[in-house]
Amino acid sequence: MRVKGGFVTRRRHNKILRSTRGQHSGRHRIFSAANQAMMKAGVYQYRDRRNRKRDFRRLWIQRINAGAREHGLSYSRLMHGLKVAGVELNRKLMADMAVNDPAAFARLVQTAQQAVGS
């Protein structure tokens, strides 16, 4: 005599159907479609957790570059000058300074210019 899933299968199916609430059409009603949708969503989540880090780094670099160019310096020259000067600030903090505290960022640019001597 074979053992059917019964209660355990229904519980597993309902768990997957709950996780696909808000999906369109059969993707939240039909188990097989919901299961595929859930697995694909998991793949996207895994991928995008890594992509988010790249995206933020790119955003920070753009903001730093914009702030540096206001003072006549490119991003790469600014970063080189800061490295020579021994300033160890992360890009997230520098981008925040470029947007919210232009005076402090200007002093940072000045430090970089003095270190390189240009």
Q: Which CATH number fits domain 7-116: 1.10.101.10, 1.10.1900.20, 3.40.718.10, 3.40.50.720?
A: 1.10.1900.20
The pTM of this model reads 0.80
Q: Which residue blocks in the chain are alpha helix, DSSP H? A: 7-19, 31-70, 75-85, 91-100, 102-116
Residue 1 confidence (pLDDT): 80
Bigger pLDDT: 82 vs 5: 82
Residue 94 confidence (pLDDT): 97
Q: Domain residue spans in the chain?
A: 7-116
- Segment 73-86 shows an average pLDDT of 96
- pLDDT tens digits for range 9-62: 999 999 999 999 999 999 999 999 999 999 999 999 999 999 999 999 999 999
Query: Rounded to whole angstroms, what are the CA distances from 12 to 63, 67, 70?
Result: 47, 53, 58
